[in-house]
Amino acid sequence: MTRPGPKGGGVAALAFGLCLLPSSSARAVEAEAVIGALQGAYAIYERYSDRGITLDEATDKMLAAIASAKTEILSRVEGLASSEATACAKSVIINFQNIQVIDPNVKQALAQESVRCLTYLDNLLQEVEGDAVVDKLGFALNALGPVALLAHEHAGLATPDELGDILLSGNTAVIQKLLPGCQIKTLTADAGPSRPAEKQVLCKAYNGDTGFQVSSTTDPNFERKRAEAEDRATRNTSRALAKAILPKLNAL
């Protein structure tokens, strides 16, 4: 199936010889911080679920991971698809900071609220189409994911199977909906009987970031290289985070 070309105008004017076009350095640094912090939070829960660390150790490490990019994480939660989504996501993330000292009943309420909020975010992800909105929802979903998992442990509640299903469903939607458009250019000028034509792939994400790969008309690894260009283009979006943690969610 042929995917659409890069979203947005002016793509035809881009030089295919460039590996990728520069993005805003500030945006890239912020995205890297958020992606790194939330990947770390999931990895901490994975270590705890494997009994590699205690609940208190996991909590300390997760709080530190979130704190390392707290401002950036909360900024990604602002302006979601609805004010209710923003409010519930911020509430869970902020209140989790006190998880070690709050009353057991409050812990249970926080765990239950985290599932309600995640369900709402997942429902929005299935419905909305705007790339910028999907991107924000993807970051919010995964800011809540590890928090919800650990909050259930603190509350003494069995983690419902639906929680894993929600995270899988939401992240799958993020990966699919933030798939960048790609333009493929076949260079036939230098091709010959023993020299296949070169194929160049330029992908462009909604935020303007690009990814580039070179293949050929006979390359059996063309689809893999195309996927690499897609991933490179979306490196500063929640799609990169979703792709990184989806295997962990399947394992959990």
| CB of 114 closer than 8 Å to CB of 92 | yes
Domain shared by 221 and 128, yes or no: no
Is residue 204 one of the residues assigned to a domain?
yes
The predicted structure's pLDDT at residue 13: 31
pLDDT in tens, 79-124: 888 899 999 999 999 999 999 999 999 999 999 999 999 999 999 9
Is residue 35 one of the residues assigned to a domain?
yes
Domain shared by 78 and 159, yes or no: yes
Is residue 4 one of the residues assigned to a domain?
no
Domain shared by 109 and 174, yes or no: yes
Domain shared by 77 and 169, yes or no: yes
The predicted structure's pLDDT at residue 251: 76
Domain shared by 240 and 226, yes or no: no
Domain shared by 157 and 44, yes or no: yes
Domain shared by 159 and 65, yes or no: yes
Domain shared by 92 and 140, yes or no: yes
Is residue 164 one of the residues assigned to a domain?
yes
Distances from the Cα of 249 to the Cα of 45, 46, 82, 105, 154, angstroms: 11, 9, 26, 28, 20
The predicted structure's pLDDT at residue 19: 40
Sequence-distant (≥ 6) Cβ neighbours of residue 120 within 8 angstroms: 84, 85, 88
Distances from the Cα of 22 to the Cα of 6, 200, 213, angstroms: 16, 19, 16
Is residue 6 one of the residues assigned to a domain?
no
The predicted structure's pLDDT at residue 14: 33
Q: Which of 196, 191, 185 is nearest to 218 (CA)?
A: 196
Is residue 3 one of the residues assigned to a domain?
no
Is residue 1 one of the residues assigned to a domain?
no
Is residue 242 one of the residues assigned to a domain?
yes
Domain shared by 100 and 199, yes or no: no
Q: Which residues of the chain have pLDDT under 70?
A: 1-24
Domain shared by 65 and 54, yes or no: yes
What is the extent of the structural domain holding 72? Answer: 26-178+236-251
Domain shared by 62 and 173, yes or no: yes
The predicted structure's pLDDT at residue 225: 97
The predicted structure's pLDDT at residue 24: 59
The predicted structure's pLDDT at residue 6: 44
Number of domains in the chain: 2
Residue 250 to residue 252: CA distance in whole angstroms? 6
Domain shared by 144 and 78, yes or no: yes
